[in-house]
């Protein structure tokens, strides 16, 4: 439609009528766009930044209990190496579809041994305030009582906090760095135990 204003022709936009069906389609399309954007963000977040995990089993008692929910940071280890005492999520050495939760004990260059239920690191007993039980040797496992293992580069020795009830480096050996998925940083369920996960400080850290 055209109108005249002070001798000049002015274009005047007319409202476009949309039928109820068209309005519903537009509304649904907007929703689908938001869902697609949200889904894309979630995928990027899950693959590259962090992922939620649910604890299954008792291998990390008393630190983590069965069916607790945690958040795993997947960025930190792209910037630095794991630190002793950190709790990590790693691929099972026998099934890539299964993830384990363990604590980093031995770093590249360390010598580690277990003798009489105690962990020795570079010849000295490792004091571990997060465990309440001894550390037995697993029969037919990777590590024998009193053996000294030198950890090569890009490999780590991991243990569960519930030593009698954990399958870990005593059984299946050292963990390659590429099998470590990320660092456990937060427990968000149950609410009563929610909070950030702290790393114990050792004398050599």
- Cis peptide leading into residue 190 (ω within 30°): yes
**pLDDT at position 46, please?**
53
**pLDDT at position 5, please?**
45
**pLDDT at position 35, please?**
60
HEC profile for 31-72?
HHHHHHHHHHHHHHHHHHHEEEEECCCCCCCCCCCCCCEEEE
SS3 4: strand
**pLDDT at position 4, please?**
44
Both structure tokens of 161: 């906090």
Question: How many angstroms separate the CA atoms of 50 and 42, rounded?
Answer: 10
Hey, which residues are catalytic here?
59, 102
In tens digits, the chain (205 residues) has pLDDT values of 434 445 555 454 555 555 666 566 666 666 666 665 555 545 555 556 888 999 999 999 999 999 999 999 999 999 999 999 999 999 998 888 899 999 999 999 999 999 999 999 999 999 999 998 999 999 999 999 999 999 999 999 999 999 999 999 999 999 999 999 999 999 999 999 999 999 998 876 5
């Amino acid at each position: 439609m055209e109108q005249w204003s002070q001798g000049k022709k002015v274009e005047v936009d007319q409202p476009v009528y949309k039928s109820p069906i068209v309005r519903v389609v537009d509304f649904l399309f907007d929703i689908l766009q938001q869902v697609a954007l949200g889904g894309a963000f979630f995928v990027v977040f899950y693959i590259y930044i962090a992922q939620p995990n649910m604890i299954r089993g008792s291998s990390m008692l008393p630190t983590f209990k069965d069916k607790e929910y945690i958040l795993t940071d997947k960025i930190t280890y792209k910037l630095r190496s794991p630190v002793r005492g950190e709790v990590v999520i790693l691929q099972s050495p026998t099934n890539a579809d299964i993830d384990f939760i363990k604590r980093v004990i031995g770093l590249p260059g360390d010598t580690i041994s277990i003798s009489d239920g105690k962990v020795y690191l570079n010849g000295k007993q490792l004091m571990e305030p997060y465990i309440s039980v001894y550390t037995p040797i697993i029969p037919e496992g990777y590590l024998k009582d009193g053996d000294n293992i030198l950890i090569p580069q890009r490999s780590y020795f991991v243990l569960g906090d519930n030593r009698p009830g954990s399958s870990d480096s005593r059984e299946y050996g050292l963990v390659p760095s590429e099998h470590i998925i990320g660092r456990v940083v937060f427990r968000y369920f149950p609410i009563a135990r929610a909070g950030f996960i702290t790393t114990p400080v050792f004398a050599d850290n």
